[in-house]
Amino acid sequence: MAEKDADMIFKEFKQHSIAEFFKKNRQMLGYSGKVRSLTTIIHEYVSNSLDACEEAGLLPEIRVEIRELGEDKYSVKVRDNGPGIPKSIVGKAMATVLAGTKFHRYLQQRGQQGIGAASCTLFSLITTNKPVHVISGTGKDSFECDISIDIKNNKPMVTEMKEYDKDFRGFSVYGEFADVKYENSDHGIYEYLKRTALANPHASIYLLEPDGKEVSFPRSVNEMPKRPKEIKPHPLGLTTSDLIDFAHLSDSRKLSAFFSETFSRFGPGKIEEIKRMVKVDFDKEPKNLTWEDAEELVKSFKETKWIAPELDALSTIGQMQIELAMKNILNPQFVSVIERKPKVFRGGIPFAIEVGIAYGGDAGRINKETNQRGGSILRFSNKVPLMFDASNCALTSAVNGVAWKRYDIGKFDEEPITVMINISSVYVPYSGVGKQAVSQEDEIIEEAKLAIMEASRGLQRYISGVRNKNVQQSRYKMIMRYVNQLSDDLSELTGEKKESVENSIKKVIETKYKGLFAESEGGESAALSESGGNEDMHE
């Protein structure tokens, strides 16, 4: 066999576009499996609509229409009342992979990578060879056009551009997709939109299913959620590489100015504190920061106590909203909700965890084999449902890492319990570009576990209360069995009328077990109702 030299080996060396890469690896974008692929398309379009409406200060009104075109082939139309996309940007926004307004900003939004809408355009092209059709009304102009992708160069191709009804406001996208399937299952579009409505009560969402059935999820809150503000990265969690990157891009003349201008919580006092801990010249230009200097600084950051990141940087679902959502949908016997203070993970990025636990009622999910309810986990990221890849998700690991027996839950999979968990962050570390699972960062798993355990303490008190009530009821019933005979005997001994003796005995017994007779709303005893969720909401 003849040997090959380097020139021959590398003769076929070529550079490929990111669009070409994802064409061959579409499963990385979430397009694996027919049901999942269709849900992924809706996920990308609806997330973008929610972000756009909220950034423009508009209560979202989103309409989703799905029609069957043939075997495993459907059309999708999503329209919103948002600010629209300008004509000069629409091609890049809808058909350039890794182009967008979100990835480079320290601002909490649902989309992050500049892949979502472009991936839908790519998927339409490779499964039907058709472009997507968009209509946009920005208030300044209204237009419609077809958009496709030049895959080899990762560039948009905009055709059939023409003016549209000047009164149109918002954005509409229509695409045709093959190798997809509509299914009313736990991973389908109906379930996705239902969970989206749970986490976004300010949005009005309408769904037209392929069979013509119309479903609406009306808004339950007429106020916009708090808008997160764009922030600076937090020093805690920075790696050496992060610090070098920030320093070499800085225009500051001194390190001391660089720290205060680039990072949050880095005031003059903190600069002096760090100075005393390291042997780094704070008068040097940031561009001259060496790797060794950065290592020493990062080490000092980890040994320093910092004020937590600003809460205003994050927009959570909210305790009240989670409680109302779980009560309305699951009709549970008990609900406990916890929202933790913000923490940081690598890169100095803040995040916050919210957890809601529902027990009893329709909580949990039905096991089709046993017809019994077992534990279920509802995962959210920046108010977006995570429907797939549960086993690889940090939020799932946190739930599975809890010692549930400590909270009187024998086996999580055999109890009527639902754990709803949401992570809010300016940058959620997904385990893949499909954005369906949170990366297994130790800081996130630990913080999520703490939130779950905090909420579970209220659950434990509730279950203990229920068990105590059952014991009391058993004792009460046992004693009441003998009241008639005891009344007879005492009547003979005292000469008192049996009816009078029996009433006296019953009065004593009912005083002893009066908690069993104080009925609350819904038929539960008042004592148990009070020990349920209310006090734990503010634990």
State the pLDDT confidence band at 106, using cuts at 50, 70 and 90.
very low
pLDDT > 70? residue 348: no
pLDDT at 15: 46
State the pLDDT confidence band at 534, using cuts at 50, 70 and 90.
very low
pLDDT > 70? residue 470: no
How far apart (Å, rounded) are the C-alpha atoms in residues 70 and 312?
Answer: 48
How far apart (Å, rounded) are the C-alpha atoms in residues 74 and 210?
Answer: 8
pLDDT at 16: 46
pLDDT tens for 426-443 read 788 888 766 788 999 899
pLDDT at 71: 92
Q: Which amino acid is at 179?
A: D
pLDDT > 60? residue 9: no
Pairing relationship of beta strands 384-385 and 376-381 according to DSSP bridges: antiparallel
pLDDT tens for 210-268 read 999 999 998 888 888 777 777 777 787 788 888 998 888 888 899 989 998 888 888 88
How far apart (Å, rounded) are the C-alpha atoms in residues 116 and 96?
Answer: 10
pLDDT > 70? residue 408: yes
pLDDT at 395: 95
pLDDT, mean of residues 360-388 = 86
**Fold category of 18-217 in CATH:** Heat Shock Protein 90 (3.30.565)
Instruction: Select the more confidently predicted residue: 140 or 8.
Output: 140
Indicate the average pLDDT of the chain.
Answer: 81
pLDDT, mean of residues 434-459 = 90
**3-state helix/strand/coil string of 441-473:** CHHHHHHHHHHHHHHHHHHHHHHHHHHHHHHHH
- Same CATH topology for 18-217 and 311-457? no
8 Å CB contact between 539 and 451 = no
pLDDT > 90? residue 174: yes
pLDDT > 50? residue 527: no
**What is the DSSP annotation of 368-436?**
TTT--EE-EEEEEETTEE--S-GGG-HHHHHHHTS-GGGGT-S-GGGSSEEEEEEEEESS--BSSTT--
pLDDT at 473: 66
For the chain, percent of residues with pLDDT exceeding 70 = 82
CATH of segment(s) 311-457: 3.30.230.10
pLDDT > 60? residue 521: no
Q: 145: which residues sit within 8 A by CB, 6+ positions away?
A: 90, 133, 134, 158, 159, 160, 161, 162
pLDDT at 538: 31
Identify the DSSP state of 165. -
pLDDT at 523: 38
Tell me the C-alpha to C-alpha distance, in Å, between residue 222 and each of 54, 58, 61, 193. Answer: 13, 10, 12, 19
Count of other CB atoms within 10 angstroms of residue 43: 27
State the pLDDT confidence band at 519, using cuts at 50, 70 and 90.
very low
Token look-up 């009804």 returns 165
pLDDT > 50? residue 199: yes
pLDDT, mean of residues 100-110 = 46
pLDDT tens for 23-82 read 555 555 667 789 988 998 999 899 889 988 988 889 999 999 999 999 999 999 999 999
The helix or strand, by DSSP H or E, that contains position 163, with its residue range, turns out to be strand 155-163
Enumerate the domain spans of the chain: 18-217, 240-302, 311-457, 461-538
Instruction: Select the more confidently predicted residue: 20 or 482.
Output: 482
pLDDT at 402: 94
pLDDT > 50? residue 160: yes
pLDDT tens for 286-311 read 999 999 999 999 999 888 888 877 66
Q: 394: which residues sit within 8 A by CB, 6+ positions away?
A: 437, 438, 439, 440, 441, 444, 445, 448
Q: Which amino acid is at 195?
A: R
State the pLDDT confidence band at 108, using cuts at 50, 70 and 90.
low
pLDDT, mean of residues 110-139 = 80
pLDDT > 80? residue 417: yes
Structure tokens at 103: 């990835």
pLDDT > 60? residue 355: yes
